[in-house]
Structures are given as structure tokens and as C-alpha cells.
């Protein structure tokens, strides 16, 4: 190896320079907008800093404050757990169901597909405001109809027991992304396997259990893990729902009780905003940010281990 031909060496250097040139936007972006702020977040998590006075070292005080005294941390973590268990599960089941339905519809398939997909595109703030209106207990059309046919009329976004189910309904409405992914996966299942199963006398359930499910299980796994990661990032919908439902004059600076009603819509990203931008306690905000970081990375690692395809490249 020691005697590399000078021509070859020049060629290699040229290739290295070329790689560097092509990758340079990412290298700069990754360093300035990821590595630097991440290290800085770790640094600030040990500092007392309010943005005006110089930061001072506080050791583990921010950390112990978040875990033992900050009244919003554990409710937010519990809500996240609830959303992971209920919302993600229902979204995967519902997305698969709608995906299967759309592969079976023969008349007007394009129209149905558009109808099922469109809500996914509704801007989150607009969609959330629409749902707070649709589900408002006073004049909302949903309770209007529920009451009309003698069903109970919950308080939805104004009732701490119903606010997360209301958010889940909103999330199920925007199922379009999962529908398309499942639809593509279902159409890729080899038809011969279904025919073979049918010849063996397998019923609809057995065909689903022994043919469909094994074939699409990687996609189900993908949907679950990305669903969990999205839940870690769940911010706009619960925040806007809480603000609008509580009747706060938006953006007016009027203090908003985070997680209205009764902390039931708090999520971890909202805590970063609450601590950093409402209470100017940047140090404690960084602690929550790091908790969020660790959770997101754990699930990302899971995703990459399960789907090596993410990394496979041609050689």
C-alpha cells in the first residue's frame, strides 16, 4: 500500500475534494444547526440563564428542578405515554383499515382516495381550529347531532377526560399519509399467495392473518415507530386546541394555562416553550429538550435497526 502510484493518488485526492464539495451544504448545516446547538443545549442545561444576565453555573439544579419540582413535567410525560399507546395504535389500525378498504373499492376509487387523503393536507392550525369548533359543546355540529340521536354529548376539548380523545379524532382524520403507505404495501403482496390460501380453504380472517400481515409487517413496524417519533414532536395541535378551547385571546400575550384543560393536552415540546419563552428559564428548558432528544434517538435507533433498508446503498 505504501507505493501508491502518484497518478492514482492525485485521482483519489480529486475524488475526495469532489465528495467534499457535494456534501458541503450538509456538512455546514449539520455543524452549525445541529452539533453546535446540541452541545450548547447540554451546556445550558447546567447553567442558570434568563437571557439578560450572564449564565452562571448551577450544577444539577435545573435537572433536579425538572424531575422533582416542575409541576408540568410528569403530566406531560404521562400525556405522551397515553398518546403513544392510544393514538399511535389507533392510527395504525385505522390507517391499515382505510388502506385495505381503498384497495377493494372499484367504483370511483380515485374520488374515494382523494376524499380520504385530503384531510392530511389541512394545515394543522386550521384543522385544529376547525375541530375545536366542530366539537365545541355549545353550538358544535357534532354534539348537536349526537344529542339529536340521544347519545351523550361530551365536553371534548374543554373536558380533561375528553381532550385527548378529541385530539385522537383529529389525528385519525389526518390518516392520509398512513393510508397511502399501507395501500402501496398491500398492492405489493403477491397475488399467488392469496390464491394458494384460498385453494387451501382459508377464510377472510386467515388470509389476513397468514398472508397479508406477514407481508406488510415491516410497514406496520415503520408506521408504529414513526408514529411514536411524531408523538414526541406533537406540539401544534395540542397547543392550539388548548389555547382556542380556553378562549384565550390568541397571541395577545395574555397568560395561557398550559395544557388546558387541567394539563391534559400538555406535551414535552410545549414544556420547552413554556420554560424558555414564557418563563425565560433557558437552563431548565434545555433539560426538557435533552429528555426529548434522548427519547427521539432511542426510537430512531429502533427504526434503523428494524429497517436496514434505510441504509442499504448500491456498491
Partner 1 sequence: MTHMTDTTLPSGTSLPRIDRSPDPRALKAARRRRTLHWIGVHSLGIAAAAFFVLPFVFVVLTALMSDNQALTRSLWPHPFEWSNFRTVWDTPGFLTWWRNTLVYAVSGTVLTVVSSLPVAYALAKFRFRGRNLIMVLVISTMMLPPQVIIIPMYLFWTKQLHMDGTLWPLIIPMAFGDAFTIFLLRQFLLTIPKEYTEAARVDGCGELRTLLTVIVPMIRPALAAVALFQFFYCWNDYFGPQIYASSNPAAWTLSYGLESFKGAHHTNWNLTMAATVLVMAPVIVVFFFAQKAFIEGVTLTGVKG
Q: Where are the alpha helices (DSSP H) in the chain?
A: 6-30, 36-44, 61-64, 73-82, 89-104, 109-121, 124-134, 141-148, 163-173, 176-187, 191-199, 204-207, 213-232, 236-245, 268-273, 282-306
Out of 10, 16, 85, 213, the only residue in the binding site for partner 1 (CB under 8 A) is 16
d(CA 223, CA 147): 36
Q: How many residues are recorded in the chain?
A: 315
Out of 72, 223, 224, 266, the only residue in the binding site for partner 1 (CB under 8 A) is 223
d(CA 151, CA 131): 19
Stretch of residues binding partner 1 (CB under 8 A), selected from 2-10, 70-78, 127-135, 257-265: 127-135
Q: Does 114 bind partner 1 (CB under 8 A)?
A: yes
Q: Does 107 bind partner 1 (CB under 8 A)?
A: yes
Q: Does 159 bind partner 1 (CB under 8 A)?
A: no
Q: Does 221 bind partner 1 (CB under 8 A)?
A: no
Stretch of residues binding partner 1 (CB under 8 A), selected from 58-66, 70-78, 151-159, 270-278: 270-278
Q: Does 18 bind partner 1 (CB under 8 A)?
A: yes
d(CA 128, CA 136): 12
Per-residue contact flags (x/-) with partner 1 for residues 40 to 79, judged by CB under 8 A: xx--x------x----------------------------
Other CB atoms within 10 Å distance of the CB of residue 4: 9
Q: Does 116 bind partner 1 (CB under 8 A)?
A: yes
Stretch of residues binding partner 1 (CB under 8 A), selected from 13-21, 66-74, 85-93, 150-158: 13-21
Residues 190-209 that bind partner 1 (CB under 8 A): 191, 194-195, 197-198, 204, 207
* 8 Å CB contact between 168 and 86: yes
Q: Does 240 bind partner 1 (CB under 8 A)?
A: yes
Out of 11, 67, 297, 305, the only residue in the binding site for partner 1 (CB under 8 A) is 297
Residues 132-151 that bind partner 1 (CB under 8 A): 133-134, 136, 139, 141, 144
CA distances from 23 to 16, 29, 309, 312 (A): 11, 10, 22, 19
**Nearby residues of 73 by Cβ (< 8 Å), 6 or more positions away:** 66, 67, 271, 288
DSSP 310: G
In 3D space, the residue among 31, 32, 58, 34 whose CA is nearest the CA of residue 44 turns out to be 58
State the minimum distance, in angstroms, from the CB of residue 173 to partner 1: 7
Q: Which is nearer to partner 1, 74 or 293 (CB)?
A: 293
Out of 188, 200, 257, 262, the only residue in the binding site for partner 1 (CB under 8 A) is 188
User: How many residues bind to partner 1 according to rule CB under 8 A?
Assistant: 120
Amino acid at each position: 500500500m505504501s507505493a501508491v502510484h502518484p497518478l492514482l493518488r492525485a485521482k483519489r485526492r480529486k475524488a475526495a475534494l469532489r465528495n467534499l464539495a457535494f456534501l458541503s451544504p450538509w456538512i455546514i448545516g449539520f455543524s452549525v444547526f445541529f452539533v453546535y446547538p446540541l452541545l450548547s443545549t447540554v451546556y445550558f442545561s447546567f447553567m442558570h440563564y434568563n437571557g439578560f444576565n450572564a449564565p452562571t453555573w448551577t450544577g444539577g439544579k435545573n435537572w433536579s428542578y425538572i424531575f422533582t419540582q416542575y409541576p408540568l413535567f410528569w403530566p406531560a410525560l404521562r400525556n405522551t405515554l397515553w398518546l403513544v399507546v392510544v393514538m399511535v395504535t389507533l392510527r395504525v389500525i385505522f390507517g391499515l383499515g382505510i388502506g385495505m378498504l381503498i384497495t377493494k373499492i372499484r367504483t370511483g376509487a380515485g374520488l374515494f382516495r382523494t376524499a380520504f387523503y385530503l384531510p392530511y393536507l389541512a394545515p394543522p392550525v386550521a384543522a385544529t381550529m376547525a375541530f375545536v369548533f366542530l366539537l365545541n359543546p355549545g353550538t358544535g355540529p357534532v354534539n348537536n347531532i349526537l344529542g339529536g340521536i340521544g347519545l351523550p354529548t361530551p365536553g371534548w376539548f374543554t373536558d380533561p377526560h375528553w381532550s385527548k380523545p378529541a385530539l385522537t379524532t383529529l389525528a385519525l382524520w389526518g390518516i392520509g399519509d398512513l393510508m397511502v403507505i399501507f395501500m402501496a404495501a398491500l398492492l405489493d403482496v403477491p397475488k399467488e399467495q392469496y390464491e394458494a390460501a384460498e385453494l387451501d380453504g382459508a377464510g377472510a380472517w386467515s388470509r389476513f392473518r397468514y398472508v397479508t400481515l406477514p407481508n406488510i409487517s415491516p410497514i406496520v413496524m415503520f408506521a408504529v415507530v414513526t408514529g411514536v417519533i411524531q408523538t414526541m414532536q406533537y406540539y401544534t395541535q395540542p397547543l392550539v386546541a388548548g389555547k382556542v378551547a380556553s378562549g384565550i385571546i390568541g397571541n395577545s400575550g395574555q397568560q395561557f394555562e398550559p395544557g388546558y384543560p387541567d394539563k391534559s393536552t400538555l406535551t414535552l415540546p410545549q414544556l420547552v416553550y413554556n420554560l424558555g419563552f414564557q418563563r425565560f428559564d433557558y437552563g431548565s428548558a434545555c433539560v426538557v429538550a435533552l429528555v426529548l432528544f434522548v427519547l427521539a434517538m432511542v426510537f430512531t435507533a429502533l427504526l434503523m435497526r428494524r429497517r436496514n433498508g434505510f441504509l442499504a446503498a448500491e456498491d
